A and B are shown apart, each in its own frame.
Chain A
């Protein structure tokens, strides 16, 4: 089936089998392998992408259901060569070790901080309870998100929604 969608700012047409999951379509059909698969049960959050502004588990969605959607994946977070403030904060805070959960953490937190740039530590923690990480113990991830808030606050002020 042919579907058209917008991914990381580009309009893309792709032919997918009806039963193909969205994460498989991204990874296999579009070579966007930054989105990872950790469980395929909707529990680990590694496959999280942003669909029409909301953090979504791409393992629980069929590609055909994304027809017409606007999608951001981890590959779409940086601005050209410059890391996004959240990505840079992850680096500074050692918020990744193996980096396998990282794309899902980044997209989840990007969606959160875009909506709620003043999110509290508790709120941040609460939102990423749905993302498993075996390496970091989560503390540096929360610290990185807190550190990145300011940039989201600034961009909200300069471009009010």
Chain B
């Protein structure tokens, strides 16, 4: 299924300026005379604000404005960011105010903003602002936040439960009542922040003459930002333009609309001067959304052959102090658990818990790695108990290929049926196992142990819903220079979105990538749009681009047939022209455009409709399910607890592959992120809600020396759900990795009987587990 530009690794559109240092990230944009903003952020996790003294800051030369909430209230329709995705599960509404008023509920919450000549002066002035706090008790641990005696995250709230829901199907209690075997476990899982290398940031500029607010914003969702700015600032939708310039990564949190975006835009409007704010790394740690803790109390019922009969339990999920996105992260966790395997009955409840910490929103993977971790760990434990091979127990439970498409007895959070449309999960696992030499590992492991080395192998599978609908518009237009201009509501944040759209369009329109220009992430270019999240853009925007390019193709041929007086079937598109097959006769895109643009008073040729522009928004409601398997090989130093990941074999199916190199890149990056979630990344708060890890020296990201050997296997079963057969891939790498790595670590330590029920796990924690297990062993031995 390869074409000239599809299915091959063409050079990326994005690369040239980026390798030359000529990218255009938000902080690279210098509007003449722009001022800069610095925020005053709460130093307390929970406190009342008695008074804010801004006089000294205002008196500082070079300061043009200082605003607290009261200053902004007269200028906004609402000061609350109502962004929660709809759900009947909320028990209380906790929307973020654009600046904290009477109460701060997490350390890092913005209280005031200073606008000054430059960031240096703005920060000086911010340091002069005196906030008089009355500290209140804070809660930072989900494990006790629902206790009656626990402090309330918001002082007037009845409790810390913000939402609760469950995902259930089948008669799970009956399954447990008659099950030959059951076991119950508790898991504690943590994920950190996104840590795109570029933080958030924006520049806002209000043109008083035409009343238009323009903002360059490092966001994954410019159209959503525009809607909120319209609502908050009472502006009509043709008076706000949000442009996403080059994005230095997103990975989730940049899909949220933040307080700073509203405040900076409002300040620019009130002061009549461009204002820029760039998040620094410390701010990223204390103000950009994160994914953090989940505690799973879970039971599994199964038979003597290891077949799953039911899973039930309750999850506590850290929501942070406010609703920044909604219930989608825990919903992703609950629905990821029963996807890859036959789980006949299921009931998993979740309580979303408020804590005095940064709000939680999706980070690459959006809750799914946690659900996958839980089922994979349970399968390992069952295999251990039954004396079965860990791969064999999975083989018995994986949804077989013959059953595709397979409807699962539940729906997405949008109420759409979960139908796993394509793929061969057992084959995927088998290929990964074969490549990793699963069957021969026993001997290698035994040999290593005689040398005093502890190596282990682990396996995990995943199925992921990708391509969240309903649609993403794409416009394809021919310019006067005969170029193809593609615009989309999609956002390019590093996943090569521009290249992807150009490939799909070039496949229909002349195969010349250099003749295609792509605009993404500009609300002035497309009226509608959603943006980048949920591994959706290639599926949705790609489908729209494909449909629009086909229409353009047909019209170019039709008009050329009139202009050249040749039958349509004798014409072909080549480069930026249409030519008669096997002859020199041709007409350029530019000439065709001229012909269909018309001349006043004259008929268009053959009554063809005017212009060369097509907009398509292909609607695809059902998600398409990507899948795969990971095998991890590790070595554990039992004295230091250090885990070296030697090798990852990753088999995956993202449907038809548009650009092999880009797909590999997405998977590799995801795997590294997954390694971080297995072994390194931890956003730590103390019991008073003070963030402890606020630099890359305390919060560890995997570096080049942690990179294992990675081998990718592509299965590529095209989905029937879109014309191109593609499924999303951006998040897949991360999903099974924590489960596979932890399984491998446990396997390496099997001589001691170490059992791991958490992720990440640090070297000291691992040493403690080893010591405890050895003590147990010596007690039993004596």
Contact = CB atoms under 8 A, between A and B. Distances in A.
A139 interface: yes
B707 interface: yes
B669 A91 contact: no
B703 A129 contact: yes
Contacts of A101: 197
A137 B668 contact: yes
Contacts of A156: none
Contact of B665 (A94, A99, A126): A94
Interface in B109-125: 118, 120
A53 interface: no
Interface string B134-174: 00000000000000000000000000000000000000000
A41 interface: yes
B197 A98 contact: yes
Contacts of A87: 19-20
A12 interface: no
A136 B665 contact: yes
A25 B705 CA distance: 32
B25 A36 contact: yes
Contact of B21 (A19, A39, A103): A103
B22 A34 contact: yes
Nearest to B17: A99
Q: Report the 8 A-B pairs with minimum CB-CB distance, sorted nearest first.
A: A34-B21, A98-B494, A100-B248, A99-B18, A74-B21, A137-B668, A33-B28, A43-B696
A100 B198 contact: yes
A134 B250 CA distance: 10
A72 B696 CA distance: 26
B20 A98 contact: no
Interface string B690-712: 00000111000101110100100
A33 B198 CA distance: 13
A22 interface: no
Nearest to B278: A37
Contacts of A58: none
A91 B13 CA distance: 10
Given A133-B197, A134-B196, A136-B669, A97 B23 contact: no
Contacts of A138: 672, 703-704, 707
B555 interface: no
Contact of B120 (A17, A34, A38): A17
Given A33-B21, A137-B672, A137-B710, 7 more contacts: A28-B118, A77-B20, A94-B662, A94-B664, A94-B665, A135-B669, A142-B707
Interface of B: 9, 11-12, 14-16, 18-23, 25, 27-28, 30, 118, 120, 194-198, 246-249, 251, 280-281, 493-496, 661-662, 664-666, 668-669, 671-673, 695-697, 701, 703-705, 707, 710
Contact of B281 (A41, A74, A103): A41
Interface in A114-151: 125-126, 128-142
B160 to A, nearest CB: 32
Given A98-B249, A135-B665, A43 B704 contact: no
B197 A132 contact: yes
B320 to A, nearest CB: 22
B462 to A, nearest CB: 18
Contacts of B666: 97
Nearest to A137: B668
Contact of A97 (B11, B22, B494): B494
Nearest to A93: B661
Residue of A38, A44, A128, A142 with most partner-chain B CB within 10 A? A38
Contact of B695 (A43, A77, A141): A43
B668 A28 contact: no
A129 B706 CA distance: 9
Given A97-B669, A139-B710, A33 B197 contact: no
27 contacts: A34-B20, A34-B23, A35-B21, A36-B198, A38-B248, A39-B696, A40-B280, A41-B697, A44-B197, A75-B21, A83-B16, A91-B11, A96-B18, A97-B249, A97-B494, A97-B665, A98-B248, A98-B494, A99-B14, A99-B23, A100-B248, A100-B494, A125-B707, A134-B249, A135-B669, A137-B707, A140-B668
B197 A38 contact: yes
Contact of A125 (B21, B197, B494, B704): B704
Contacts of B668: 136-137, 139-140
Given A98-B247, A98-B248, A134-B251, A91 B12 contact: yes
Interface in A64-106: 73-75, 77-78, 83, 87, 90-91, 94, 96-103, 106
Contacts of A38: 197-198, 248, 281
A27 B669 CA distance: 28
A31 interface: yes
Given A41-B696, A137-B672, A98 B19 contact: no
Nearest to A98: B494
A30 to B, nearest CB: 11
B15 A100 contact: no
B701 A137 contact: no
Contacts of A139: 668, 707, 710
Contacts of B703: 128-130, 132, 138
A11 to B, nearest CB: 20
Nearest to B665: A94
B25 A19 contact: no
B21 to A, nearest CB: 2
A113 interface: no
A14 to B, nearest CB: 15
Contacts of A55: none
Contact of B249 (A94, A100, A131): A100
Contacts of A125: 704-705, 707
Nearest to A128: B704
A46 interface: yes
Contacts of B19: 74, 83, 87, 90-91, 96, 99, 102, 106
Interface in A1-60: 17, 19-20, 27-28, 31-41, 43-44, 46
A54 to B, nearest CB: 19
Residue of B15, B246, B247, B710 with most partner-chain A CB within 10 A? B15
B30 A31 contact: yes
A41 B694 CA distance: 11
